[in-house]
A and B are shown apart, each in its own frame.
Chain A
Amino acid sequence: MKKEMLTGNAAAAWGVRLAEVDYIPAFPVTPQTEIIETLARWIADGDMASRFVTMDSEHSMITAAGAASATGVRAFTATSSQGLLYGFEMLYAVAGWRVPLVMVNVSRGLSAPITLETDHNDVLAARDSGFLQIHCETCQEVLDSILMAYRLVEDERVLLPIIVNMDGFYLSFTREPVEVPNLERVRNFLPPYQPKHAFFKASQPMAQSVTALGGSLYSYFKYQMHLGSQKALEVYKEVCVEFEKEFGRHYDTIEGYMLDDADYVLVMTNSFSTLGKAAVKRARARGIKAGLLRLRLLRPFPAENIQRALTGKRAVAVIDQNISVGKGGILHSDVASCLCNEKQRPLLFSFIGGLGGKNISPGEFEFIFTELIKAVAGEAVEPSQLLYTEEEWQEMVRLKRIAGKE
């Protein structure tokens, strides 16, 4: 095994190369372009024996990737933001085909207004589609998760597509030391794809994705997808054990950081969790019993693990890097729903921050802990707040003046 300084995008490309993917239909979109460019170069140089085709849109790209999976090859594709939404219709279709497609999404805020930087409204919009979702904090995790993803979704108990998600810019273009496993060991962990469920060949005609008229028939198939996704929790555990055996790195559905004895907990996902962990460390230094829970697997939702991690805590702040307009933080709702019947449930607050790549500063984390402590002391605290500093507000006022709107 060798260690290299890789961007998140390059780490993703390595994951795909090591998984010996057969087919990569692609369409460029910032900030994931580096993934497909890297793969295209490897294929052009003969380093990978895959077929690469540039499609006419993400809608076509996801269709081609799903159709290739349905024909019996190991397929991969990647997208981001508007691209994911442009192909959105096909997420539901490919999930319904029950084919093990792996797709990387590099999260980026959605138009309008236009931005290039990260938040999670893109990937979370896909949470009900049937695609499983792994959210990564580090470049190493991106590479590893792609290998785990194929192993997970090609399992006959699962057979659903999956999104491996990372943050645009914060991870896609950040270099970190990444251990690139050697191919022989990857082959031990991830055997070639043997389609038993979906394929096309002359001697066995098969109709896939047929019409299911009548609610009971439709419900049956939809519920089968739900069961497949839930089954993935169990299979995921096995995959983690196997992965650790082969490569020595352990990944759970969730990750606790200084969590065991914590009273005040941040719940986060993706690369901003690193900022959260640093904030927890600083809070501990000030004598606050702080901790962090990072959600890694978002679909299927590891409700039981989250319950176990959070019951008995005094106060929890879910930091959502997304905004469900007219409702608030999306993950806050998910976490709340799995705690609502717990007897020893903590006080639960929602903070929305980091939209469009907006920084979450040490001061803002401090503010969150102060709010949690106030709430536990019985003081009134807003249930949902947007993180936005006085400084940022002043800057906004100045810009509005320039635009002639003030």
Chain B
Amino acid sequence: MGIERIKSIKDLPPEENVFSGTPACAGCGALLSLRLTLKALGRKIVIVNAAGCFTLLTIYPYTPFANSWLYTAMASAPAGAQGVRDALDILLEKGRLDPEEDLKVVVLTGDGAAYDIGLASTSGAIYRNLDFYYLCYDNEAYGNTGFQRSGATPFGSGTGTTPPGSVRPTGTELPKKDLFEIWRSHKPPYLATISPAYPVDLINKFKKAEQYKGPKLFIALSPCPPGWATDPSYTVKLAKLAVGTGVWALKEAVYGEVSHTIVPKKFKPVEEYLKEQGRFAHLFKPVRQEETLKKMQEMVDDYWKRHQLLL
């Protein structure tokens, strides 16, 4: 296809576009996802931020970004991206902006805005075929307000609003919404899931996406040490385990055609991923919730069977 792919971690763009010293938590997987994304996108971008942990990266008078940035609101970052993109196009068309000064428009959002409150405005922007990148750092709950269930919270996870209790021992009883498929039904040119533990795959997906005009989605499953109740040093290992157990499928879709970019040769049991995290601790103690654990494994197996990658 003529796109230059990188082959190893040594080929990562060296430039840093989000600087250190942010108030994000130690070991934040989302920040790592963002850092790699901004290596891929470069500096000529404007980020339109929805409410979430990363709204708090820019605190007056500081910004950790080398690029431009606008906060809109939780529900409407894609609409903000529409206004910015349209305005840039108008300025270019009317000769009021040098083409050298043009910017790529990037929506930056957590899963709460992406899966829930911002879904209508996201659907609108995809429908209008807005030319923009959309990065969702998915830590599977409302992380910025503590850790409450969002549309991205997986079945079985304990959260602030779905605490496992004696009557409801499972925690979250609903399965995670499938944002990838919600987007795919709109038929945008490019969709991908990414992981901060697979930087080469991540960078190559952005390289591939670059050639398409229109909406481009990237969902990064991002371990969140305080919410997931894990050690900050464990973030990358956990992100790897999510892929290795099949919980997080690394894939892309070009005009709706899905392909998996990294498939484990041998899937590890889901339990290996779950037992490392405080948010799933209730599944093991004081009693093992066999039924729930079985169901979780089945959910993952079903996915891979459906894609004929697990026989």
Contact = CB atoms under 8 A, between A and B. Distances in A.
Interface of A: 22-23, 25, 49, 51, 53, 55-57, 59-61, 63-73, 75, 89-90, 93, 200-203, 205-213, 217
Given A56-B123, A203-B101, A67 B56 contact: no
Interface in B81-130: 81-84, 86-91, 94, 96-98, 100-103, 120-121, 123-124, 127-128
Given A205-B67, A210-B71, A211-B59, A59 B83 contact: no
Is chain A's interface secondary structure helix, strand, loop, or mixed overall?
Answer: mixed
A71 B79 contact: no
Given A67-B72, A210-B63, A57 B83 contact: no
A64 B82 contact: yes
A64 B59 contact: no
A103 to B, nearest CB: 13
A94 to B, nearest CB: 10
Contacts of A70: 70, 83-84
A23 B72 contact: no
A23 B88 CA distance: 11
B12 interface: no
Given A66-B83, A71-B91, A202 B58 contact: no
A205 B43 contact: yes
Contacts of B43: 202, 205
Given A23-B86, A203-B101, A67 B79 contact: yes
Max chain A C-beta neighbours (<10 A), residue from B75, B80, B88: B80
Contact of B69 (A56, A57, A207): A207
Given A51-B86, A200-B103, 14 more contacts: A53-B86, A60-B78, A60-B82, A60-B120, A67-B79, A71-B84, A90-B72, A200-B70, A203-B101, A205-B66, A208-B68, A208-B69, A209-B71, A211-B60
19 contacts: A49-B94, A57-B124, A60-B82, A63-B73, A63-B121, A67-B48, A67-B87, A68-B87, A73-B90, A75-B87, A202-B100, A202-B101, A205-B65, A205-B67, A206-B69, A209-B71, A211-B58, A211-B59, A213-B60
A207 B124 contact: no
Question: How extensive is the interface on chain B, given as a class?
Answer: 35 or more
B44 interface: yes
A207 B87 contact: no
A211 B65 CA distance: 14
A201 B87 CA distance: 11
B46 interface: yes
Contacts of B100: 202-203
A244 to B, nearest CB: 31
B76 interface: yes
Nearest to A193: B96
B83 A200 contact: no
Nearest to B96: A72
A61 B125 CA distance: 11
Contact of B121 (A60, A89, A93, A213): A60
Contact of A89 (B69, B73, B82, B90): B73
Given A209-B70, A213-B59, A200 B76 contact: no
Nearest to B102: A202
B128 A211 contact: no
B55 interface: yes
Given A22-B90, A51-B89, A205-B43, A68 B84 contact: yes
Nearest to B47: A207
Max chain B C-beta neighbours (<10 A), residue from A22, A55, A63, A212: A63
Max chain A C-beta neighbours (<10 A), residue from B58, B81, B83: B83
B65 A71 contact: no
Contacts of B98: 201
Nearest to B97: A201
A73 B70 CA distance: 16
A64 B79 contact: yes
Contacts of B46: 200
A71 B73 contact: no
A25 B82 contact: yes
B60 A60 contact: no
Given A67-B87, A73-B87, A202-B102, A210 B60 contact: yes
A205 B48 CA distance: 13
Given A70-B70, A202-B100, A202-B101, A23 B83 contact: yes
A59 B119 CA distance: 13
A77 to B, nearest CB: 10
B90 A23 contact: yes
Contacts of B68: 200, 205-208
Interface in B256-271: none
Contacts of A72: 87, 91, 96-97
Nearest to A93: B73
A49 B60 CA distance: 38
A75 to B, nearest CB: 8
